[in-house]
Structure 1
Amino acid sequence: MSDINIRVTGKAGRITLTRGKALNALSYDMCMAIDAALRQWASDDAVKLVVIDAEGEKAFCAGGDIAELYDTGTAGDYAYGRKFWSDEYRLNALIFEYPKPVVSFLQGFTMGGGVGIGCHGTHRVVGDSSQISMPEVGIGLIPDVGGSLMLTLAPGRLGEYLGTTAARMKAADAIYAGFADFYIPE
């Protein structure tokens, strides 16, 4: 698949999103490819950790690729959307509960579905360009299950604020809110 590069390098399972022109938006096929790789690596003793990153400086993952969701939904076919979100949410849970370390490099935009695949691992790295948010709330949608879990884990009432305003977090904010763990200068 040309939108994603999945491989093993040394002891690391590597997942690189390669849709830079589309801000690495997550398609259904990409979601399923990540799911399959993670399930295979979970029982592979040669793979000690998973690294998720993306090509390009603008975005780790700006969210789900909603073009097909929009097209099928406006045509009255809601089955595709239910399937996409069901499988994407299952993937988010798999990453959150994964038995091996999952390292993600969250440069640029990490939004919506990007929060789901990037912020549920054990070692989440942000940099100077990081902007993390759930922009879907700006158009009246509830943050997806990936974002909703992260919002409930945020300290104090910060999750409520982020979940109702679509505010963008920079690196320090993301670490404080529990969406990231480490800062590395880009």
Structure 2
Amino acid sequence: MTDIDAEPTVLVRTEGALGRLTLNRPKAINALDYDMIQQLGAALDAWRDDTDIDIVLIDGAGDRGMCAGGDVRALYDQIVSGQPERTAEFFRAEYALNLMISEFPKPVVAIADGITMGGGIGLAGHAAIRIVTERSRLAMPETRIGFTPDVGGTYLLGRAPGRIGEYLGLTGGTMSAADAVYAGFADHYVPSQHLDELREALGKRADPTSPSELVLLFDETPEASVLATERAWIDEVFSAETVGEIAERLSARAEASASATADTLSELSPTGLAVTLDAVREAREGTLRDALIGEYRRVMWFATQHPDLPEGIRAQLVDKDRSPKWQPATIADLTADAGSAARAFTPDVPLFD
């Protein structure tokens, strides 16, 4: 429980053969903290071999979003107070939960209604059946705070069509429902007005109807994906070898959206961009576990070795002056090894025992 919500931050209950997990911090758009991660993991562990549970459903309370992400302010406090062991503990627990969802022996259905970003993608993006609505806004916005995508986000980004993954990872761009389906972050589009019916159907499922078959009863075709319409220039630009070359290609494009993208990248941490580009491309090969291990190395590098992460959080969430002082300050100042240095980092405590 928290003082803010005065009730459980994760609602755990069963409805027939359905195990339901609802993130319950609606005032904070269900932002994920360490205790919530522990509760989710404990419930999944209990249901793994429970013969009464056939399906797991993960969603969020309220109508603003499933999960706005992790507790970034707590991360800032840990970094500035010199507590890397607490940072490692949080990410180890979170990534273990992400992998657990992906490998769970029973179908996991996730409803990414509304804002679903960062840590929310770690919960919804690796489920067996991923649902979005007309209210869905999905993103991996970590570069906005001088950071890099994690929670298995690089695994998803690395498998997006063409160079969409590099584009979304570097810009932190927000996906609509149609974009999320196109980019491989979601499977089905269900209008929000039908969600309660869908939940009820999952709870009352009669064998041998599969959860996928039930979801298809409510599935509709979303509007066209903007990402799909803009993929040609995105592929051309974001196939460049380095962040500097990407910036150069953007400056040569005539599209208004390319110009806007150039402006966005110029405001973000150059180091965060370089590390993200390297991470997405490394995660294009290998498993989700491999991607999580790579992300953990990079995350702990940022938390212990580089100033841009705490500076980005300070500027956006602490002082809120929106004027971060990046090191280096510009993309042109990046060194040749800016992306690979984080990849080579060895954390004191490994991700998986």
For 1:170, the equivalent position in structure 2 comes to 176
Q: Structure 1 residue 51 and structure 2 residue 92: aligned?
A: no
For 2:148, the equivalent position in structure 1 comes to 142
Contact map agreement 2:110 2:130 (CA 8 A) in 1: yes
For 2:78, the equivalent position in structure 1 comes to 72
Q: In structure 1, how many angstroms separate the alpha carbons of the residues matched to 2:128 and 2:68? A: 20
2:87 partner letter: G
For 2:30, the equivalent position in structure 1 comes to 24
- Among 133, 139, 162, the alignment partner of 1:156 is 162
Q: In structure 2, how many angstroms separate the alpha carbons of the residues matched to 1:74 and 1:38? A: 33
2:85 partner letter: A
For 1:113, the equivalent position in structure 2 comes to 119
Larger RCO, structure (CA 8 Å, separation 6 or more)? 1
1:140 partner letter: G
RMSD over equivalenced CA pairs, Å: 1.0
1:38-76: CA deviation from partner (whole Å, max 9, x where unpaired): 111111111001000111111100000122222222111
For 1:12, the equivalent position in structure 2 comes to 18
1:103-143: CA deviation from partner (whole Å, max 9, x where unpaired): 11111110000000111101111001100001112222110
Structure number with the higher strand fraction is 1
Give the secondary-structure state (helix, strand or coil) at the position aligned to 2:12: strand
* Pair member with larger Rg: 2
Structure 1's consecutive aligned runs of 4 or more residues displaced over 6 angstroms after TM superposition are none
Give the unaligned 5+ runs of structure 2. Answer: 2-7, 193-353
Q: In structure 1, how many angstroms separate the alpha carbons of the residues matched to 2:51 and 2:9? A: 27
Aligned length: 186
In the TM superposition, residue 11 of structure 1 has moved relative to its aligned partner by 0.3
Q: In structure 2, how many angstroms separate the alpha carbons of the residues matched to 1:47 and 1:155? A: 35
Q: Structure 1 residue 35 and structure 2 residue 18: aligned?
A: no
